């Protein structure tokens, strides 16, 4: 094509340099924090005077870190399952339903993404105090579900848009009951959308901090809240170690679907 | 009279004020290949969807082997269907697609294997059982869809314009395959198309739909030779229509005047005794011959254009009243080389080959 990279002449060096700089800009903070987590300095001096694993040792020897990590994981998993199931059903309704104001309702589903999280957090906190949900796992799950669902609905209803409804009709004519057709044909056909919904729902809960600060109690904390409170008390490289592990896990979650999709295309 | 295999009785479908189909009534024999032919929006697909259970009729009933289909949900009707769009399950291989109807029927594993193999052999795709649908051509996908619709031996197979997305050559190839499969399996087929050539090629009988009604039911030959309405005459084959005035009628034969002062006698007016009035005459392009001199029955026309169509030459001409008349003459006929645009010649025909429509 006329604007192919190879035909750009001098501009392409410029593009390569800009791309490299943007990449550095995005990656450097992560490299920085990873380096600090392996540095020997108690005061987070950069560049580190020497290398050590003692902050990781300290991290793993403190059961509170592991406990909050497990709490985070439990909440994120429940949120993921609920978000994908509810997101699938809501998307089916949005895509297949024939009712007035469908597009308005679709937009309404996305409001949690537009609303400042802090506003949502204050509102939920006030409500949950009344309902006795503040400081409970259920409170956490509901709050995080609120921010996870829009991601779920966007990716699942997008996948449903690209799925021909006649394929479902064909399954039913083949003898499958309507729910059998949805489960055996529709769900596997939009599995990429479901998978993306699951990854983003998990992450929405896993690294969420604003709502979590409001929902947490002295006995129930998620990992981001624990990092936050630890940082407020004293500056320790253990936080850098936790952050590095979090980044690594998130990277795995984000890159798995990419690899998965590439394999699909290669099939 | 024996009970018809499939009996569609007085179906009507309303959408609010709009009536999509009305008075659709027909019987289909076991093993018959019936085609619903008509332009888009004529109600042929709506009728098929009612049989499939995608829509419920406002009135009427459908009996399959004496039992009403309408009370059963779609998935229990045990009907096969091939759709216009490609509807193979994208996540399953060809073999798994064909096995799907048997799996949901909880058939035994060995039985599934045998029947899938037989169904794929029927459509000549037994070598592609492991392939994913996305890697197949449109023609192959429709063959698989056909195998999937037949693998459970449904008594009735519905086909909703299954070839309309394919190019002409492939379409003809698959028409031939469908015909062969119909003969090999003996399944009763209801086929929807807007392509008259496809309908003529495939069907035992054709129902011509127009504006939500069946205009005529008959074999292709009957529809062509004895069209009941002007619509059918225009839809099946090429046709010329001429305005005429009735002079007299005797023993189902009419004496008419056409053009300016040309009188023809012996035009059949079957069924409806057309006393007087101004009927429309149907004249098929291939039933006309051209000559320089006046013959027994004919009218003068002026040549406008000649189009070479391979084995035929199509002559466009007009009568003295400016009514267009299309004429088809076999290539090689001597007169073809003598014709030129602007010539005035005689178009001759047998009055018995005309049809008069009173509408």
Q: What angle do CA B300, B305, B310 make, to 5 degrees?
A: 115
Q: What is the per-residue pLDDT for B270? A: 60
Environment class of A225 (CB within 10 Å of its CB; exposed 0-12, middle 13-18, buried 19+): buried
**How far is it, in rounded angstroms, from Cα B284 to Cα B242?**
11
For residues B34 and B190, the answer to whether their CB atoms sit within 8 Å is yes
**Which residue in chain A is spatially nearest to B99 when comparing CA positions?**
A174
Residue A267, pLDDT above cutoff 60 = no
Instruction: Indicate the number of domains in chain B.
Output: 2
A176: chain B residues, CB-CB within 8 Å = 75, 100, 104
A187: chain B residues, CB-CB within 8 Å = none
Residues B222 and B248 in one domain: no
Residues B186 and B270 in one domain: no
Band the pLDDT of B64: cuts 50, 70, 90.
very high
Please give the distance of CA A5 from its chain centroid, rounded to a whole number.
Answer: 33
ipTM for the assembly: 0.83
| Strand ranges of the sheet holding B355-357, from the earlier edge strand across to the other edge | B262-268, B253-258, B240-250, B280-283, B355-357
Q: What is the per-residue pLDDT for B238? A: 87
In the block, which residue shows the tokens 């300016």?
A: B260
Residues of A engaging B, defined by a Cβ cutoff of 8 Å = 164, 166-167, 169-178, 180-181, 184-185, 188-189, 191, 267
Q: In CATH, what number is assigned to the domain containing residue B160?
A: 3.40.50.300
Which pairs from A70-75 meet CB under 8 Å and 24+ separation?
A: A71/A137, A71/A220, A71/A221, A71/A222, A71/A223, A72/A205, A72/A206, A72/A222, A72/A223, A72/A224, A73/A206, A74/A137, A75/A137, A75/A140, A75/A141, A75/A144, A75/A205, A75/A222
Please give the distance of CA B318 from its chain centroid, rounded to a whole number.
Answer: 29
**Closest by alpha carbon to B175, among B152, B191, B186, B188?**
B191
Environment class of A3 (CB within 10 Å of its CB; exposed 0-12, middle 13-18, buried 19+): exposed
Please tell me if residue B90 touches chain A, with a CB cutoff of 8 Å: yes
Residues B42 and B116 in one domain: yes
Q: What is the per-residue pLDDT for B352? A: 85
Residues B228 and B247 in one domain: no
Q: State mean pLDDT over A28-46.
A: 88
Residues B247 and B160 in one domain: no
Note the pLDDT tens digit of each residue in B80-106. 999 999 999 999 999 999 999 999 999
Residue B54, pLDDT above cutoff 80 = yes
Q: State mean pLDDT over A60-73.
A: 91
Q: B104 lies in a domain?
A: yes
Q: What is the per-residue pLDDT for B1? A: 53
Quote the minimal CA–CA distance from B63 to chain A in Å: 18
For residues A191 and A264, the answer to whether their CB atoms sit within 8 Å is no
Q: What is the per-residue pLDDT for A21? A: 96
Q: Are strands B156-160 and B188-193 parallel, antiparallel or unpaired?
A: parallel
Residues B17 and B146 in one domain: yes
Question: Which of A160, A168, A175 is most worth mutating to test chain B (most B CB atoms within 10 A of its CB)?
Answer: A175
For residues B294 and B259, the answer to whether their CB atoms sit within 8 Å is no
**How far is it, in rounded angstroms, from Cα B53 to Cα B45?**
12
Residues B160 and B11 in one domain: yes
Q: State mean pLDDT over B171-175.
A: 93
- The verdict on a CB contact (< 8 Å) between A174 and B148 is yes
A194: chain B residues, CB-CB within 8 Å = none
Q: What is the per-residue pLDDT for B261? A: 77
Q: State mean pLDDT over B127-156.
A: 94
Residue B257, pLDDT above cutoff 90 = no
Environment class of B213 (CB within 10 Å of its CB; exposed 0-12, middle 13-18, buried 19+): middle
Question: Which of B91, B103, B132, B135 is most worth mutating to test chain A (most A CB atoms within 10 A of its CB)?
Answer: B91
A169: chain B residues, CB-CB within 8 Å = 52, 54, 74, 81, 83, 87
Q: What is the per-residue pLDDT for B136? A: 93
Q: State mean pLDDT over B206-210.
A: 95
DSSP symbol at B325 = E
In the block, which residue shows the tokens 């709490």?
A: A71
**How far is it, in rounded angstroms, from Cα A133 to Cα A146?**
15
A164: chain B residues, CB-CB within 8 Å = 85-87
Q: What is the per-residue pLDDT for B333? A: 81
Q: What value does the mean pLDDT of chain A take?
A: 89
Please tell me if residue B48 touches chain A, with a CB cutoff of 8 Å: no
Residues B104 and B249 in one domain: no
B136: chain A residues, CB-CB within 8 Å = none
Residues B162 and B191 in one domain: yes
Q: What is the per-residue pLDDT for B311? A: 86
Q: How many CA atoms lie within 13 A of A223 on its CB side?
A: 27
Residues B260 and B319 in one domain: yes
Band the pLDDT of A174: cuts 50, 70, 90.
very high
Count the Cβ atoms, other than its own, within 10 Å of residue A138: 14
Residues B213 and B75 in one domain: yes
Helix H or strand E encompassing B344:
strand B344-348
CATH class label, A62-266: mainly alpha
Helix H or strand E encompassing B110:
helix B109-122
Residue A263, pLDDT above cutoff 70 = no
DSSP symbol at B2 = P
B89: chain A residues, CB-CB within 8 Å = 167, 170-171, 185, 188-189
Residues B178 and B323 in one domain: no
For residues A156 and A199, the answer to whether their CB atoms sit within 8 Å is no
Band the pLDDT of B276: cuts 50, 70, 90.
low
Q: What is the per-residue pLDDT for B275? A: 58
Q: B293 lies in a domain?
A: no
- The verdict on a CB contact (< 8 Å) between B91 and A188 is yes
**Closest by alpha carbon to B11, among B62, B71, B86, B85?**
B62
Residue A129, pLDDT above cutoff 70 = yes
- The verdict on a CB contact (< 8 Å) between A175 and B105 is yes
A172: chain B residues, CB-CB within 8 Å = 74-75
Query: Domain range spanning residue B260?
Result: 238-288+299-357
Cα–Cα distances in angstroms (integers) from residue B303 to residues A170, A243, B76, B198, B319, in the given order: 53, 89, 61, 32, 9
**How far is it, in rounded angstroms, from Cα B160 to Cα B82?**
6
DSSP symbol at A51 = B
Q: State mean pLDDT over B260-265.
A: 81
Residue A265, pLDDT above cutoff 60 = no
For residues B163 and B142, the answer to whether their CB atoms sit within 8 Å is yes
Please tell me if residue B83 touches chain A, with a CB cutoff of 8 Å: yes
Q: State mean pLDDT over B250-264.
A: 80
Q: B1 lies in a domain?
A: no
Q: What is the per-residue pLDDT for B266? A: 82
For residues A137 and A75, the answer to whether their CB atoms sit within 8 Å is yes
Residue A106, pLDDT above cutoff 60 = yes
Q: State mean pLDDT over A127-131.
A: 93
B92: chain A residues, CB-CB within 8 Å = 188
Chains A & B: contacts with CB separation below 8 Å: 69
Count the Cβ atoms, other than its own, within 10 Å of residue B59: 12
Quote the minimal CA–CA distance from A172 to chain B in Å: 5
Q: State mean pLDDT over A84-100.
A: 91
Note the pLDDT tens digit of each residue in B19-28. 999 999 999 9
Question: Which of A162, A167, A171, A174 is most worth mutating to test chain B (most B CB atoms within 10 A of its CB)?
Answer: A174
């Amino acid at each position: 094509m006329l604007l192919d990279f190879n035909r750009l002449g001098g501009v392409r060096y410029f593009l390569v340099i800009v791309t490299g700089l943007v990449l550095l800009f995005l990656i450097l903070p992560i490299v920085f924090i990873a380096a600090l987590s392996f540095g020997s300095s108690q005061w987070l001096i950069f560049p580190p005077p020497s290398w050590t694993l003692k902050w990781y040792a300290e991290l793993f020897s403190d059961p509170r870190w592991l406990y909050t990590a497990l709490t985070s994981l439990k909440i994120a998993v429940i949120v993921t399952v609920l978000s994908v199931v509810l997101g699938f059903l809501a998307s089916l309704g949005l895509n297949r339903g024939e009712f007035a104001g469908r597009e308005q309702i679709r937009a309404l589903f996305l409001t949690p993404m537009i609303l400042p999280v802090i506003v949502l957090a204050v509102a939920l906190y006030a409500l949950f105090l009344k309902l006795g949900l503040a400081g409970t796992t259920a409170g956490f799950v509901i709050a995080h579900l609120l921010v996870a669902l829009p991601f779920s609905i966007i990716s699942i209803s997008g996948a449903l848009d690209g799925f021909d409804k006649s394929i479902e009709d064909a399954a039913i004519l083949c003898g499958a009951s309507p729910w059998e057709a949805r489960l055996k044909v529709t769900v596997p056909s939009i599995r990429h959308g479901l998978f993306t919904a699951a990854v983003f729902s998990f992450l929405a809960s896993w690294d969420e901090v604003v709502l979590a600060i409001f929902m947490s109690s002295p006995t129930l904390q998620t990992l981001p809240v624990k990092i936050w409170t630890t940082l407020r008390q004293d500056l320790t490289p253990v936080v850098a170690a936790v952050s590095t592990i979090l980044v690594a896990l998130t990277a795995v979650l984000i890159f798995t679907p990419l690899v998965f999709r590439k394999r699909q295309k290669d099939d | 009279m024996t009970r018809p295999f499939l009996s569609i009785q007085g179906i009507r479908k309303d959408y609010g004020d709009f009536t999509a189909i009305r008075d659709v009534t027909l019987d289909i024999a076991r093993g018959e290949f019936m085609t619903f032919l008509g332009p888009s929006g004529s109600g042929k697909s709506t009728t098929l969807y009612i049989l499939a259970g995608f829509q419920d009729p406002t009135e009427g009933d459908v009996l399959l082997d004496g039992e009403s289909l309408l009370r059963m949900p779609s998935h229990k009707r045990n009907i096969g269907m091939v759709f216009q769009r490609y509807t193979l399950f994208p996540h399953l291989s060809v073999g798994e697609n064909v096995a799907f109807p048997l799996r949901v029927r909880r058939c035994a594993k060995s039985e599934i294997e045998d029947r899938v193999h037989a169904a794929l052999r029927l459509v000549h795709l037994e070598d592609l059982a492991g392939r994913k649908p996305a890697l197949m051509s449109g023609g192959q996908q429709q063959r698989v869809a056909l195998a999937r619709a037949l693998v459970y031996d449904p008594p009735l197979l519905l086909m909703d314009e299954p070839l309309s997305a394919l190019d002409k050559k492939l379409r003809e190839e698959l028409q031939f395959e469908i015909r062969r499969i119909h003969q090999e399996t003996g399944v009763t087929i209801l086929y929807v198309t807007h392509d008259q050539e496809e309908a003529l090629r495939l069907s035992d009988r054709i129902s011509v739909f127009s504006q939500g009604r069946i205009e005529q039911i008959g074999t292709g030959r009957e529809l062509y030779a004895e069209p009941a309405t002007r619509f059918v005459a225009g839809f099946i084959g090429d046709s010329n229509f001429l305005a005429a005035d009735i002079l007299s009628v005797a023993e189902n034969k009419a004496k008419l005047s056409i053009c300016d002062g040309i009188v023809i006698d012996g035009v059949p007016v079957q069924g409806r005794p057309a006393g007087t009035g101004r009927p429309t005459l149907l004249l098929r392009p291939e039933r006309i011959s051209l000559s320089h001199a006046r013959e027994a029955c004919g009218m003068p026309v002026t040549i406008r254009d000649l189009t070479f169509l391979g084995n035929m030459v199509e002559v466009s001409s007009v009568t003295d009243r400016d009514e267009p008349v299309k004429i088809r003459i076999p290539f090689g006929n001597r007169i073809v080389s003598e014709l030129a645009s602007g010539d005035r010649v005689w178009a001759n025909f047998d009055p018995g080959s005309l049809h008069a429509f009173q509408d």
